[in-house]
Structure 1
Amino acid sequence: MNAAATLVIGATGTTGSRTAAQLVAAGHRVKAASRRATPLPGAQPVRFDWYDPATFADAVSGADRVYLVPPVGDPDPAAVMVPFLRQAREAGVRRAVLLSSSAVPEGGPAVGVVHRALPGLFDQWAVLRPSWFMQNFTGAHLHADSIRGDGVILTAAGSGRVGFVDADDIAAVAVHALTGDRAPDTDLVLTGPETLSHDDVAVILTEVTGRPVLHRHLSHEDMRERLAAMMSPKFVALLAGMDRAIAEGAEDRITDTVERLTGRPPHSFREVARRELTDAR
């Protein structure tokens, strides 16, 4: 068992919390990093803020691997992440696993710049590129809020299909990439077992919760206008562009990555909806 700790950045978030919990359950030492150093069962809490370099040294102390969740909503995360990664390497971190997106290639916008830099910083690395999270419809997300409030999903994705993936499955792959004898040293596109349109998602949610859910099709311009009140113009353009890409078929794919790395098939959206929304009945 590895004596050094695994630093999990974003340990209170959707994938970070699950990754930390799975690492602890497997007997690994975990430093759970968040802005408030929130305690997590079995993990050592540590304060960490991407925008406060004074928190970096304590976070990486005693860690030899790190799970990286980029700062949310930042269109240029490399500006804060790359300096941290250099400091982490100098402090003894040898393996880094970065959470990116299936919609962002190496060298692409935002976290794609960090993706490109990672192999030059660490000999052992992986970039997880999951498709859109199933938890976007069940947890803390604009879609989930809209579903709970008005029973609607608002997108400019049209009838485009997506290989939505369970955050538990992302975490399972993250644990493998962090703790396996050999790091993947590549990027990994993660999907669920099937592709679904947002209309399909609405049907499944209606069946599982017993509450009617509809997918309302927005134009690209309407989506940009809706997001404009919530985030920077650059990030609005990025997100609205992703919906347009879905409509054009960019996310209509499935991969075998989850099963190949974890030894079990990925969870379906219906399974996740039943698991996380049973109280909605």
Structure 2
Amino acid sequence: MTTAGTTLVIGATGTTGSRTATQLAAAGHRVKAASRRAGQVAGAEPVPFDWHAPATHAAALDGVDSVYLIPPVGDSDPAAVMLPFLQQARSAGVRRAVLLSSSAIPAGGPAVGTVHQALPGLFPEWAVLRPSWFMQNFTGSHAHGRSIRDEGSIWTATEGGRVAFVDAEDIAAVAVRALTDEQAPNTDLVLTGPEALSHDDIALIITEVTGRPVTHRRLSCEQMRDRLSAEVPVEFAALLADLDRAIAAGAEDRVTDTVHRLTGRPPRSFRTLLEEEVGSSS
């Protein structure tokens, strides 16, 4: 049995938001797809939304009883804008909130960790999704995807550290369950793919599947911070570089059964995702 209300999906044009909105609508749920551009999602109502424009918040929340939360991109202190919105959401009648965080950030940790810590006190029904790093970082418009296409290189400070990269479709499938199941998880959920891989492994798989040589280029943490600061604020670049340092130390070398347990199917592997993407484009 599932809930039958309206879900507001924030970041509905993004990597997991678009997939979550699409899967919800395809399953017959009422969805408001919120983004700065109010992008179209089949079967969903588009609504304009900007974290930094409070005038857009009330209309987005109208008639909503659950919300999928994507933090503002590149913000090292998202709680400053998210917590006032969440208090407004509670007052507007939202009962369930599902927050996208990261496997690398615990409750009370930096950035979105502050929001994670506050969520149980704001809503009677909640979940925090803590996925590992996205497989789509290597295939989409993320910095890794661009450097693979432009240079045949992946630049990190992760050394030989391993990550159980996860497919965004699997994250969205878990989000749908967390938003619509009769019983909310009321916990945080660490989501991973089926195997932990180093960036050397990722480069090898891309080379084997696409036939184009790709190399993992190793940087120091400071070099990675400087490289990232060309694209994002320096505080956020430093946070991301520190996450690479944690990967190098083994912090992300783990595999969980969460995707299989909540969706009833195993998570997709990186090789399978890449083979499907290459096959669909050929």
Amino acid at match of 1:42: G
Partner of 1:245: 246
Cα shift at 1:277: 3.2
Query: C-alpha separation between the residues in 2 aligned to 1:2 and 1:115?
Result: 23
Cα shift at 1:3: 4.5
Point out where structure 2 has 5 or more consecutive residues left out of the alignment: none
1:52 and 2:48 matched: no
Partner of 1:117: 118
Cα 1:3–1:253 change in 2 (3 A) is closer
Query: C-alpha separation between the residues in 1 aligned to 2:182 and 2:281?
Result: 42
1:108 and 2:109 matched: yes
Query: C-alpha separation between the residues in 2 aligned to 1:98 and 1:216?
Result: 33
TM-score (norm 2): 0.98
Query: C-alpha separation between the residues in 2 aligned to 1:109 and 1:42?
Result: 36
- CA deviations over 1:10-46 (Å, ceiling 9, x no partner): 0000000000010011100000000011121110000
- CA deviations over 1:95-128 (Å, ceiling 9, x no partner): 0000000000000000000000100000000000
Cα shift at 1:157: 0.3
Partner of 2:154: 153
1:192 and 2:193 matched: yes
Whether the aligned pair in 2 keeps the contact of 1:33 and 1:47 (CA below 8 Å) is yes
Cα shift at 1:2: 4.4
1:16 and 2:30 matched: no
Query: C-alpha separation between the residues in 1 aligned to 2:278 and 2:112?
Result: 31
Cα shift at 1:280: 6.5
Structure 1, 215-224 or 140-149: larger mean CA deviation: 215-224
- CA deviations over 1:217-250 (Å, ceiling 9, x no partner): 1111211121122222211110000000000000
Point out where structure 1 has 5 or more consecutive residues left out of the alignment: none
Partner of 1:183: 184
Query: C-alpha separation between the residues in 1 aligned to 2:12 and 2:238?
Result: 28
Whether the aligned pair in 1 keeps the contact of 2:25 and 2:31 (CA below 8 Å) is yes
Partner of 1:96: 97
Whether the aligned pair in 2 keeps the contact of 1:5 and 1:64 (CA below 8 Å) is yes
Paired positions, count:
281
Query: C-alpha separation between the residues in 1 aligned to 2:31 and 2:123?
Result: 20
Amino acid at match of 2:240: L
Query: C-alpha separation between the residues in 1 aligned to 2:116 and 2:276?
Result: 33
- CA deviations over 1:166-188 (Å, ceiling 9, x no partner): 00000000000000010000000
Aligned pairs (5 A) from 1:159-238: 159-238=160-239
Cα shift at 1:133: 0.3
Amino acid at match of 1:261: L
1:140 and 2:141 matched: yes
Partner of 2:277: 276
Percent identity of paired positions between Structure 1 and Structure 2: 71
Amino acid at match of 1:75: S
Amino acid at match of 2:201: D
CA RMSD of aligned residues (A): 1.1
Aligned pairs (5 A) from 1:61-72: 61-72=62-73
Cα shift at 1:4: 2.7
| Partner secondary structure for residue 255 of structure 2 | coil
Query: C-alpha separation between the residues in 1 aligned to 2:276 and 2:40?
Result: 25
| Partner secondary structure for residue 74 of structure 1 | coil
TM-score (norm 1): 0.98
- CA deviations over 1:46-84 (Å, ceiling 9, x no partner): 000000000001101011000000000000000000110
Query: C-alpha separation between the residues in 1 aligned to 2:263 and 2:95?
Result: 22
| Partner secondary structure for residue 235 of structure 1 | helix
Cα shift at 1:276: 2.2
Amino acid at match of 1:230: E
Whether the aligned pair in 2 keeps the contact of 1:6 and 1:31 (CA below 8 Å) is yes
Partner of 2:75: 74
Partner of 1:42: 43
